[in-house]
Chains A and B, each alone.
Chain A
Amino acid sequence: MNDIQDNLHPAKGMASALGQLRRLTAAMAPLRLLTVAVAVLTLMTVLNPGRFLTARNFASMCFQFPELGIFALAVALSLITGGIDLSVISVANLAGIVAASILTRAPADDTSVLVVAGCIALAITAALITSAVCGLTNGILISRFSIPPILATLGTMQLFLGVSLVITRGHAIAGYPGAVQMIGNGTLAGIPVPLLLFLVLACLVQMALSRTRFGVSLCLMGTNPTAARFSGLDVSGLSLRTYVITALLAGVAGLIIISRTNSAKADYGSSYLLQAVLVAILGGVNPRGGFGSAWGILLAVLSLQFLSSGLNMLQLNETVGPYINNFAKEFTWGALLLVVMTANCYSTRGQSTPR
Chain B
Amino acid sequence: MERLWQIRYRHEFSLAAVLVLLAGTIAIVNPAFLSLSNLFDLCKSSTVLGIFALGVFIVLLSGGIDISFTAIAAFSMYVTSSMLPAGASDSAAAAFLCAGCIGLLLGLFNAFFISFYRLPTLIVTLGSASVFRGFLLGVVGTRIVTNLPRGMIEFSKRSLFETALPDGGRTGLSASFLLFVAAAAAAWVLLQYTTLGKGIRALGGNAEAARRVGFNLGRVQLFIYGLVGFLSGMAGLIHACTMRNANPFDLVGMELTVIAAVVLGGADITGGRGTVAGTLLGVALLVTINNSLILMNVPSYWQNVLVGMVIIVSTGLTARRNPRALRGVIVG
Contacts and interface: CB of A to CB of B under 8 A. Distances in A.
Interface of A: 1, 79, 81-84, 86, 141, 145-152, 154-163, 165-166, 169-170, 225-226, 270, 274, 277-278, 281, 287-289, 323-325, 327-335, 337-338, 341-342, 345, 352-355
Interface in B92-141: 113-115, 117-124, 126-139
Interface in B273-303: 301-303
Nearest to B304: A162
Interface string B314-332: 0110011000011111111
Contact of A354 (B65, B138, B207, B302): B207
Contacts of B130: 274, 278, 330-331, 333-334, 337
A166 B301 contact: yes
B237 interface: no
A352 B113 CA distance: 13
A163 B259 CA distance: 21
Contacts of B307: 158, 162
B168 interface: no
Ranked nearest first, the 7 interchain pairs of A and B with the lowest CB-CB distance are A331-B134, A159-B308, A162-B304, A334-B130, A162-B305, A158-B308, A327-B138
Contacts of A352: 118-120
Contacts, number: 200
Contact of A147 (B119, B312, B327): B312
Nearest to B248: A327
Given A166-B305, A332-B134, A338-B127, A287 B332 contact: yes
A147 B136 CA distance: 36
Give the dominant DSSP class at B's interface. helix
A244 B32 CA distance: 45
B217 interface: yes
Interface of B: 63-65, 67, 113-115, 117-124, 126-139, 142, 203, 207-208, 217-218, 221, 253, 256, 259-260, 263, 269-270, 301-312, 315-316, 319-320, 325-332
Contacts of B269: 148, 150-151
Given A158-B304, A225-B329, A287-B332, A338 B315 contact: no
A345 B330 contact: no
Contact of A338 (B65, B113, B121, B259): B113
A342 B134 contact: no
Most chain B CB neighbours (cut-off 10 Å) among A79, A152, A162, A289: A162
Contact of A146 (B65, B118, B325): B325
B115 A274 contact: no
A84 B301 contact: no
Nearest to B208: A1
Nearest to A78: B331
A159 B304 contact: yes
A148 B207 contact: no
Contacts of A288: 120, 330-332
A28 B325 CA distance: 36
A152 B312 contact: yes
Contacts of B64: 355
Contacts of B134: 327-334
Contacts of B259: 154
Nearest to B270: A148
Nearest to A338: B127
A109 B119 CA distance: 55
Contacts of A327: 133-138, 142
Given A327-B138, A342-B113, A342-B119, A148 B128 contact: no
A343 to B, nearest CB: 10
Which has the most chain A C-beta neighbours within 10 Å: B131, B218, B310?
A: B131
Contacts of A355: 63-64, 120-121, 207, 330, 332
A191 to B, nearest CB: 31
A169 to B, nearest CB: 6
B131 A151 contact: no
B158 to A, nearest CB: 34
B133 A338 contact: no
Given A146-B319, A226-B327, A332-B134, A159 B312 contact: yes
Contacts of B305: 158-159, 162-163, 165-166
A161 B304 contact: yes
Contact of B316 (A81, A141, A323, A328): A141
Given A337-B123, A342-B113, A353 B327 contact: no
A161 B307 CA distance: 11
B312 A345 contact: no
A278 B126 contact: yes
Nearest to B311: A155
A101 to B, nearest CB: 16
Contacts of B142: 327
A166 B331 contact: no
Contacts of B270: 148
B269 to A, nearest CB: 5
Contacts of A328: 134, 138
B118 to A, nearest CB: 5
A353 B312 contact: no
A152 B121 CA distance: 20
Nearest to B217: A354
B19 to A, nearest CB: 19
Contacts of B121: 355
A151 B311 contact: yes
Given A145-B319, A170-B301, A287-B332, A162 B306 contact: yes
A289 B330 contact: yes
A146 B310 CA distance: 16
Nearest to B203: A354
Contacts of B320: 145-146
B324 to A, nearest CB: 10
A331 B135 contact: yes
Nearest to B332: A287
A102 B133 CA distance: 39
Nearest to A349: B118
Nearest to B328: A148
Contact of B326 (A146, A157, A170): A146
7 contacts: A149-B329, A158-B308, A274-B130, A327-B135, A327-B142, A334-B128, A341-B123
